Chain A
Amino acid sequence: MKKILINFAHPAKSHSNINKALRKVVEELDNVTVNDLYANYPDFMIDIKREQALCEAHDIIIFQHPLYWYSTPAIMKEWLDLVLEHGWAYGSEGKALQDKLFFQAISTGGDASTYQKDGYNEFTLAELTSPYQATAKLCNMTWLPPFVVSGVHSGLPKEKVQSHAEAFRRTIIALRDALFDIELAKQQEYLNSDVNRVIRSV
């Protein structure tokens, strides 16, 4: 069984149904650790040693967050700036994250169609998340496309929320139990574009 770390960043999570739901369905799973950054570091004083130890103890690292201004909430950037030290995460001596799996679980306000070349936002999520792809590459991690829940602003119906949560739960369990077709997932636009295809049945 693989160990999974979910670095969770939402500054007003009590107001976000989708993030609450996604978190709730995976929180209690074996070998899954949810690390709530805003709750642990309300004053942004990130404990670098603790965070590095957490990363070292897990095989898969997930950033779960809403898309703020085409990027992450502020604390996640602080996390990247401080935790990914030279000689630990990258550089000739920095091999701590080597071969770990990395992806983002993102909720977006706008509909999926707005994140297209001819859509309202003009850039695709693959393009917008390219800094994280580059980060994963520098740290010798295996990058996967983001798990995306879009259209949150128009208000997701309850069933929609539930189906997203279920897909997330299945994805996490499959990754944990090595039932996930990583090579196939890499070729998809989103990790959850077609959950049934990438998850192998036993």
Chain B
Amino acid sequence: METFLLQFFIFLTAAAISVPIAKKLGLGSVLGYLIAGIVIGPFGASLIHDVEEIMHFTEFGVVMMLFLVGLELKPSLLWQLKMPILGFGGSQVIITSLAISAIAYYFLPWQQAAAIGLILSLSSTAIVLQTLQEKGKMKTEAGQSVFAVLLFQDLAVIPMLAVLPLLATLAISTGGHHDSALYDISALPHYLQITVTISAIAAVLIFGKFACRPIFLMIAKTGVREIFVAAALALVIGTSLLMMMVGLSPALGAFLAGVVLADNEFRHELESDIEPFKGLLLGIFFISIGASLNFSLIGNNISLILGLTAGLIAIKWLVLVLVGLVFKISSKERALFAIALAQGGEFAFVLFQLAKTSGVLSVDIIEPLISAVAISMFLAPVMFVIHEKVTQTSQVENKEQEDDTIKKSDHKVIIAGFGRLGTDIGRFLLSAGIKPIILDHNAGNISVLRKLGFEVYYGDATRLDLLASAGASSAELLIITLSDTHAATQLVELARKHYPQLKVVVNARDREASFEFMDLNINEVYRETFGTALNMGQAAMKQLGIDPYEAHRLKQIFQKKDLEMMPELYKQRSEEESYISLYQKHHEHLEELMNLDHNECLIALDKAWTAKNPEL
């Protein structure tokens, strides 16, 4: 127990120290983990052992990552991006694999050459997406193309995981992957094996489609958050176990489960619950990769490894430029597109690991290649910086052009709270072509709204992680319609602190609540019953036979004057006496102004009406 805790402590401390430093240097978190691994590994301070085993365990982070990738992949998004995904992504992966395999074939048998080609064709989703987001390039042509390629690669990993073991030419050293702790189906006759495998996949799909919702709904109604986390973890782990039992890749199962749940209202909640586990496991996985880097080997073969790195970057870059040319990406965007994806990826570590355990590649081939991939990943952020420096002059014009093309449907709006008020706002925005992301905490309410066709997600909007997975970092506007003023002010503070770019429009229960929001410097505060009260007042006047246009003007005048006195009342609100007298003063003034018989504003209309001849 103590040794376990000590190991765990060392991993976490190393991550906690090195990741912030790496981020500060603009290198991204993945490199931070790798460096941490090197520092605590056998070639650094030599603080950890059993690296292999830890790597094996934390590989599960990859399964979770694929689950999350699946969750992100709504069928509609896939359909929208089908051309770039298949076109850019497909040609990049195929051409790069062929090129690298062809070169490797000079030195190695074809199976090994093919494996290397496939593995090295992948780029680093973690580094590239993070960097593009940080630099605000996701919406550009290059950004979208890069995203399409990465998506294809993420999907391509799944068949690669399945195909790699088939390329095995070496004897498997350790027992490894095919062991199943539960039940070994290889004892069954062949046709039964296939049946079991297909039913397992069908079970995942059917369970995800039909059984998950009621179960999550039930759990959500209990309001105990950790049970939801437990259920989410159980879902991912259970799917993986089932897949392993039938001899399929657990990553495939998790991915499928993710896709099936992508349209589910619990998507954001699942995402934010799994995310920290994935992050932690992947982090430790990257640390163990760093720790397993063999520096004596790198030192002895320095020229070979540097050559491999340079060759890897050069080949990938060339292929990307070619793909960009064929698919007619404009020249400026093409440069970024090619630079962004010219490195090895974290999946290479996973796949090399698999290649080792399933007897495809031997350690002495893998080690220099892993080193080359790692170095190319080190260089990726550096290459972004260089690209930025070179193209800095032309960037200003680009920005101006981008602004013009923003469509209404591109506006990113989050609505927190979808009760009666939120529903109407949502309907209103939707009818204007603005599609908000809606978060609500009432599970029963959500299933009704979903049936009506709203895109509503379950979750507590005042939780930072949920805001994040709803896309708060790239959203433009947050609309708060929570009836609980305390929760709403909390949310405002949270948004202000973490997403200063978010504009906030908020509903206030009453005047008191308005003041609380004004304390937080929010200008767009709307009292929830004020508009209805005035509309009813207008209707009442009409019923009393008052001219409809006068009633309309009176409403407008009242609304305007009431809003005008808010700041003054706000200043006086702490002193009760002066507040009341100020309120009364304003009210008298309003009464005078609006008196039907000598209404100043309506008399103004009389006065306005003609060119009066003063001499007559």
Kindly identify which residue among A13, A43, A69 contacts B610, using a CB–CB cutoff of 8 Å.
Answer: A69
Tell me whether A110 and B547 are in contact (CB under 8 A). no
Tell me whether A12 and B612 are in contact (CB under 8 A). no
Interface flags, A43-76, vs B, CB<8A=1, else 0: 1000000000000000000000011111001000
A14 to B541, CA, bound (A): 15
* Shortest Cβ gap from A46 to chain B (Å): 13
8 Å CB interface, A62-108 against B:
66-70, 73, 108
Tell me whether A154 and B616 are in contact (CB under 8 A). yes
* Shortest Cβ gap from A118 to chain B (Å): 14
Interface flags, B597-616, vs A, CB<8A=1, else 0: 00000110110111111011
* Shortest Cβ gap from B529 to chain A (Å): 21
Whether a CB of chain A sits under 8 angstroms from the CB of B549 is yes
Tell me whether A14 and B550 are in contact (CB under 8 A). yes
Tell me whether A110 and B616 are in contact (CB under 8 A). yes
Q: A177 — which chain B residues lie within 8 A by C-beta?
A: none
Provided the pairs A15-B602, A110-B616 are in contact, do residues A153 and B610 lie with their beta carbons within 8 angstroms?
A: yes
Q: B606 — which chain A residues lie within 8 A by C-beta?
A: 12, 15
Q: B548 — which chain A residues lie within 8 A by C-beta?
A: 38-40, 42
Tell me whether B610 and A108 are in contact (CB under 8 A). yes
Whether a CB of chain A sits under 8 angstroms from the CB of B551 is yes
Tell me whether B615 and A120 are in contact (CB under 8 A). yes
Smallest CB gap from B552: residue in A: A42
Interface flags, B534-557, vs A, CB<8A=1, else 0: 000000000000011111110000
Tell me whether B549 and A110 are in contact (CB under 8 A). no
Q: A152 — which chain B residues lie within 8 A by C-beta?
A: 610
A23 to B612, CA, bound (A): 23
A151 to B603, CA, bound (A): 19
Tell me whether A110 and B610 are in contact (CB under 8 A). yes
* Shortest Cβ gap from B600 to chain A (Å): 12
Kindly identify which residue among A43, A66, A114 contacts B613, using a CB–CB cutoff of 8 Å.
Answer: A114
Q: B609 — which chain A residues lie within 8 A by C-beta?
A: 66-68, 73, 109
Tell me whether B612 and A42 are in contact (CB under 8 A). no
A14 to B608, CA, bound (A): 15
Tell me whether B605 and A153 are in contact (CB under 8 A). no
Whether a CB of chain B sits under 8 angstroms from the CB of A188 is no
* Shortest Cβ gap from B595 to chain A (Å): 13
Tell me whether A121 and B611 are in contact (CB under 8 A). yes
A73 to B549, CA, bound (A): 13
Whether a CB of chain B sits under 8 angstroms from the CB of A30 is no
Provided the pairs A14-B550, A38-B549 are in contact, do residues A109 and B605 lie with their beta carbons within 8 angstroms?
A: no
Smallest CB gap from A75: residue in B: B549
A69 to B609, CA, bound (A): 7
Size class of the contact patch on chain A: 20 to 34
Tell me whether B613 and A42 are in contact (CB under 8 A). no
Tell me whether B610 and A39 are in contact (CB under 8 A). no
* Shortest Cβ gap from A113 to chain B (Å): 9
Tell me whether B552 and A109 are in contact (CB under 8 A). no
Smallest CB gap from A120: residue in B: B613
Whether a CB of chain B sits under 8 angstroms from the CB of A127 is no
Q: A39 — which chain B residues lie within 8 A by C-beta?
A: 547-549
Smallest CB gap from A13: residue in B: B547
Q: B611 — which chain A residues lie within 8 A by C-beta?
A: 69-70, 109-110, 121
A73 to B608, CA, bound (A): 10
A7 to B97, CA, bound (A): 77
Tell me whether A111 and B549 are in contact (CB under 8 A). no
Kindly identify which residue among A11, A110, A121 contacts B605, using a CB–CB cutoff of 8 Å.
Answer: A11
Q: B608 — which chain A residues lie within 8 A by C-beta?
A: 68
Tell me whether B602 and A109 are in contact (CB under 8 A). no
Tell me whether A68 and B613 are in contact (CB under 8 A). no
Taking each of A42, A68, A111, A151, which has the highest tally of chain B beta carbons within 10 Å of its own beta carbon? A42
Q: A66 — which chain B residues lie within 8 A by C-beta?
A: 609-610
Provided the pairs A42-B552, A114-B616, A154-B616 are in contact, do residues A14 and B547 lie with their beta carbons within 8 angstroms?
A: yes
Smallest CB gap from B608: residue in A: A68
A66 to B611, CA, bound (A): 11
Taking each of B551, B552, B553, B613, which has the highest tally of chain A beta carbons within 10 Å of its own beta carbon? B613
Tell me whether A12 and B610 are in contact (CB under 8 A). no
8 Å CB interface, A141-183 against B:
151-154
Smallest CB gap from B551: residue in A: A42
* Shortest Cβ gap from A114 to chain B (Å): 5
Smallest CB gap from A37: residue in B: B549
Q: A15 — which chain B residues lie within 8 A by C-beta?
A: 602-603, 606
A177 to B338, CA, bound (A): 84
* Shortest Cβ gap from A153 to chain B (Å): 5
A154 to B610, CA, bound (A): 12
Taking each of A11, A70, A120, which has the highest tally of chain B beta carbons within 10 Å of its own beta carbon? A11
Provided the pairs A14-B547, A38-B548 are in contact, do residues A67 and B610 lie with their beta carbons within 8 angstroms?
A: yes
Taking each of B552, B605, B611, B615, which has the highest tally of chain A beta carbons within 10 Å of its own beta carbon? B611
A14 to B603, CA, bound (A): 11
Tell me whether A12 and B613 are in contact (CB under 8 A). no
Smallest CB gap from A151: residue in B: B616
Q: A42 — which chain B residues lie within 8 A by C-beta?
A: 548-549, 551-553
Smallest CB gap from A121: residue in B: B611
* Shortest Cβ gap from A183 to chain B (Å): 32
Q: B549 — which chain A residues lie within 8 A by C-beta?
A: 11, 38-39, 42
* Shortest Cβ gap from B263 to chain A (Å): 38
* Shortest Cβ gap from B157 to chain A (Å): 56
A42 to B602, CA, bound (A): 14
Smallest CB gap from A11: residue in B: B605
A154 to B616, CA, bound (A): 7
8 Å CB interface, B303-362 against A:
none
A88 to B548, CA, bound (A): 30
Q: A40 — which chain B residues lie within 8 A by C-beta?
A: 548
Interface flags, B572-616, vs A, CB<8A=1, else 0: 000000000000000000000000000000110110111111011
Provided the pairs A39-B547, A70-B611 are in contact, do residues A12 and B602 lie with their beta carbons within 8 angstroms?
A: yes
Tell me whether B610 and A68 are in contact (CB under 8 A). yes
A120 to B615, CA, bound (A): 9
* Shortest Cβ gap from A129 to chain B (Å): 14
Tell me whether B610 and A109 are in contact (CB under 8 A). yes
A152 to B616, CA, bound (A): 11
A114 to B611, CA, bound (A): 10
A47 to B547, CA, bound (A): 19
Taking each of B606, B609, B616, which has the highest tally of chain A beta carbons within 10 Å of its own beta carbon? B609
Q: B551 — which chain A residues lie within 8 A by C-beta?
A: 42
Interface pairs (21), CB distance under 8 Å: A11-B605, A12-B603, A12-B606, A13-B547, A15-B603, A38-B547, A38-B548, A38-B549, A39-B547, A42-B548, A42-B553, A66-B609, A67-B609, A68-B610, A73-B609, A109-B611, A110-B612, A110-B616, A153-B610, A153-B613, A153-B616
- Taking A42-B551, A67-B610 as known contacts, 8 extra A-B pairs with beta carbons closer than 8 A to each other, sorted by chain A number, are A12-B602, A12-B605, A13-B547, A39-B549, A66-B610, A114-B613, A114-B616, A153-B610
The list of the 9 closest CB pairs from A to B, nearest first, reads A42-B552, A109-B610, A38-B549, A12-B605, A39-B548, A42-B549, A110-B613, A120-B613, A42-B548
